[in-house]
Structure 1
Amino acid sequence: MAKLKHFGILKIKHFVIFLTLLVLGSCKNEPKHLTKLTGRQIAIDSSNILVDSIQDFITPYHNRVEQILDSTIAYAPFTISKTDGKFNTTAGNLMADIVMSETNPIFQKRTGNTIDFVLLNHGGIRSIISKGNVTARTAYEVMPFENSVVVVELKAESLLKMVDYLIKAKRAHPVAGIQLILNKDNTVNSFTIGGKPIAMNRTYFVATSDYLVTGGDNMDFFKDAVSKTETDYKIRNAMIDFFSKVDTLSSKVDLRYYQLQ
């Protein structure tokens, strides 16, 4: 009987252990999955009440930012626009020239190489530069995006694709460091880089924006890059740096890209 009694106790212990494991197993955390995401628009209008303590904290910083943005750093003797030329414009030429002059020292210091030319996109210029005082705010208006300069190394074959793209685009995409002359029938009369004909046995370093490097504006030829160098230099900051160095902006429609008549 003693053996049967101990056997019964053993069965009860086993049952308790089994029940405990079962409960613990059922309490195991199940992975949670997002099943629905909703949102709503909250209007900011006159019904919103200012919190004085927050407003008092923010105001000095706000005023300082406004002061910096509106401080005059250069002067434009005429309106600089991206629509005052067919194949190149005053705004496009200024932007491309700025990227060339301001980025080249950075690229040269990092790699020992120099930028051969610049190509940006016409749509990236979002505002004119009005005649009069030029400020940091002007740069934010012209280039409101966070695009930075990237230098891409391309083979000559890719540059021929680029030329074909420029001809078909029929837009004044900003360029610097090259000259492209078209015949009346839109064929290429001449294409030079740094004043020299393109050499098919070498590569060229092209400064552009991080947006275009990924194929923005259908500039797929950038995807053929042999190498790519991030400068971590925003185009807008390059503009502000350039404006701070010069007294008066000078830009004109010229012969860097045009068509024979």
Structure 2
Amino acid sequence: MPDVLIELEDVSYRYGDETALEHVSLQVRKGEFWAVIGPNGSGKSTLIKLILGLIAPQTGQVQLFGKPVGTFRNKERIGYVSQKSNAFNSAFPATVSEVVKSGLVKKTGMFRRYPEDADEKVMRALDAVGMAEYAGRSIGRLSGGQQQRVFIARALISGPELLILDEPTVGIDREHMESFYDMLGRLNREKSIAILLVTHDVDTVSELVTHVACVNRSIHFHGPQEEYNRREERIRNDWYGHPVRRIRHPKGEGEK
């Protein structure tokens, strides 16, 4: 099926005696926007590692763009943004433009020259996330939310068809989350980029995404967000293992 970008079939993974995921099956298609939700320790990070090929499934199989993940080589078709705030050194001596341009390395190779239109690609990627005016600014002088936009621009510069975001709002003030999520929605709608968003922000489910996967070692639900929202609250709480508190994003002025 050419429109299937990610496919997991009966995938399980254990860390020693501890089960992280068991019998997980999931498909992500072109243009879809998925929220992967679940409590801490539910296996969400393991799921992302399996999809990215960082670990291999112990049972089942993972495919990217119709190929086994272990043989998939077209890395530029996938953009990935991790929980930046836990690892990024804000004193790193680089401009916004330089950080974004480094995203071309996976396409050009570590020791190859950047293409002649690299600077144009940088500005297009920054414009897509509303950060073009900051191109010459030091990355360390930006807010957490602005830095995350820059890292998304870095992931976009190679023209990916799939964007994977692992809890990207870690370190972003809640008052700025709405504009951040709106930016993701525009990327999905206007550029037809499929997005897989790992999040604890359950409110995102009903306001932004097209599909939901609720993970707690196994997949308790996967399907359209309208169907997820129709499920009774007690059922959703059972999936999580505790009551899920829905939080509304405050209406702000957008991120500066």
Fold conserved (TM > 0.5)? Answer: no
- Structure with bigger helix share is 1
TM-score by length of 1: 0.23
- Structure with bigger strand share is 2
Greater Rg over alpha carbons, structure: 1
